């Protein structure tokens, strides 16, 4: 178990180093930073001086090592446009993105599992047909279109919910939350649905197909033959056996939700990291882009690690060491 975690941590470090290399390359390939700082008509002496100051005359691997050493301490330098430490900018925006993503993921998970189980158990009911048809829409419509349609219906026509922004926020230490105010909660609804809809349909279809598969197994038939109630058979025995693949997909999708919040945040002008990143791209603000890239990679790596550990909690076949499996 400990060896497994250590091995996984080692792999995680390798992944982060590789992503760091890509992020670092951005600095070299998205224009010449010296030109950025001094302009086109600087003297060769000034250029040479600033090049030396920035350490750009050193070999590539030394520059990379220095980048990594500083990145580990959370130092990605100054934003070229806002002249503020990148880490501060990201930390300001992080709560907005995480609250949106987690809210969307929870919605997707709960609604997806409920609908998946329902459509598997009542295959021929009209409600299942409606849900399956609805899930097709969720899978095929692009996120931004869903967002715009939701804004049109609920903000413009009905006027029930705000069309942009995060509402009022409350600061809890460094964390600014929108979950404690009425306007913050109202502002969260439409973006969460927009962001979570695709994942919800994905989970719904996954749970449905896994559930149908499990319901055909011998141990479900045997559970019925023992006279267990439908409730115990469906939720105790069948649903639990569908959870391993669901956890995998949900875990991977949580990373995707955080990363693809960019589109939703743009549509709803949500003040999160995604919006910051889009603005950074527009202005070729390389430090922000590089830091964002590393942070998203970190999320993916951590989530994957958590997913691997969750397997152990759900499936006893992985938990027990080989020695006890005799007989």
Binding site for other proteins (CB under 8 A): 217-219, 221-230, 232, 236-237, 240-241, 314-317, 320, 324-325, 327
State the minimum distance, in angstroms, from the CB of residue 164 to other proteins.
Answer: 46
CB of 221 to other proteins, least distance (A): 6
CA atoms within 13 A on the CB side of 36: 17
Residue ranges with strand state E in 109-204: 170-172, 175-177
CB-nearer residue toward other proteins: 16 or 233: 233
Of residues 210 and 285, the one with the C-beta less far from other proteins: 210
In the bound state with other proteins, the residue whose beta carbon lies nearer, of 39 and 327, is: 327
Residue 243 C-beta: closest distance to other proteins, Å: 9
Nearest to 71, CA basis, from 11, 22, 33, 36: 22
Torsion angle defined by CA atoms of residues 183, 101, 308 and 250, in that order, rounded to the nearest 10 degrees: 100
Q: Count CA atoms within 13 Å of residue 110 on its CB side.
A: 6
Query: What is the C-alpha separation between 217 and 243, in angstroms, rounded?
Result: 15
3 state SS of 151: helix
Cβ 120 to other proteins, closest distance in Å? 14
Query: C-beta of 129: minimal distance to other proteins in Å?
Result: 18
Residue matched to tokens 């009542």: 122
Nearer to other proteins, 51 or 128 (CB): 128
Question: Which residue lies nearer to other proteins by CB, 45 or 218?
Answer: 218
Rounded CA gap, 238 and 224, in Å?
11
Cβ contact 65:43 at 8 Å: no
For other proteins, the closer CB: 82 or 209: 209
Q: Which is nearer to other proteins, 166 or 208 (CB)?
A: 208
Question: Which region holds residue 228: left if phi is over 0, alpha if psi is between -120 and 50, else beta?
Answer: beta
User: C-beta of 113: minimal distance to other proteins in Å?
Assistant: 17
Task: Report CA torsion sign: 187, 190, 194, 197.
Answer: positive
CA distance 295 to 285: 16
Q: How far is the CB of 218 from other proteins (least distance, A)?
A: 4
């Amino acid at each position: 178990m400990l060896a497994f975690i250590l091995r996984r941590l080692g792999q995680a470090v390798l992944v982060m180093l590789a992503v760091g290399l890509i992020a670092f390359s951005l600095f070299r390939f998205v224009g010449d930073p010296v030109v950025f700082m001094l302009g086109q008509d600087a003297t060769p002496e000034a250029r040479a001086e600033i090049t030396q100051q920035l350490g750009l005359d050193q070999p590539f691997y030394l520059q990379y090592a220095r980048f990594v050493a500083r990145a580990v301490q959370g130092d990605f330098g100054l934003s070229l446009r806002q002249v503020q430490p990148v880490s501060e900018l990201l930390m300001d925006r992080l709560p907005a993105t995480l609250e949106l993503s987690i809210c969307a993921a929870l919605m997707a998970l709960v609604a997806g599992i409920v609908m998946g189980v329902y459509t598997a158990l009542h295959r021929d009911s009209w409600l299942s047909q409606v849900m399956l048809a609805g899930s097709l829409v969720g899978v095929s419509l692009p996120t931004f279109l869903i967002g715009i349609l939701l804004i049109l219906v609920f903000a413009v026509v009905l006027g029930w919910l705000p069309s942009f922004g995060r509402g009022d926020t409350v600061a809890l230490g460094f964390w600014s939350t929108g979950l404690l105010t009425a306007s913050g909660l109202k502002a969260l609804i439409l973006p969460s649905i927009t962001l979570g809809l695709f994942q919800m349909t994905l989970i719904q279809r996954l749970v449905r197909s896994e559930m149908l598969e499990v319901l055909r197994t011998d141990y479900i038939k045997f559970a019925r033959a023992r006279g267990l109630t439908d409730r115990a058979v469906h939720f105790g025995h069948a649903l639990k056996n569908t959870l391993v693949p669901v956890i995998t997909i949900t875990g991977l999708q949580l990373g995707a939700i955080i990363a693809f919040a960019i589109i939703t945040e743009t549509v709803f002008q949500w003040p999160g990291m995604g919006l910051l990143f889009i603005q950074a791209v527009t202005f070729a603000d390389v430090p922000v882009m590089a830091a964002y890239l590393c942070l998203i990679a970190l999320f993916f790596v951590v989530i994957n690690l958590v997913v691997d550990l969750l397997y152990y909690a759900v499936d006893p076949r992985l938990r027990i060491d080989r020695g006890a499996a005799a007989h």
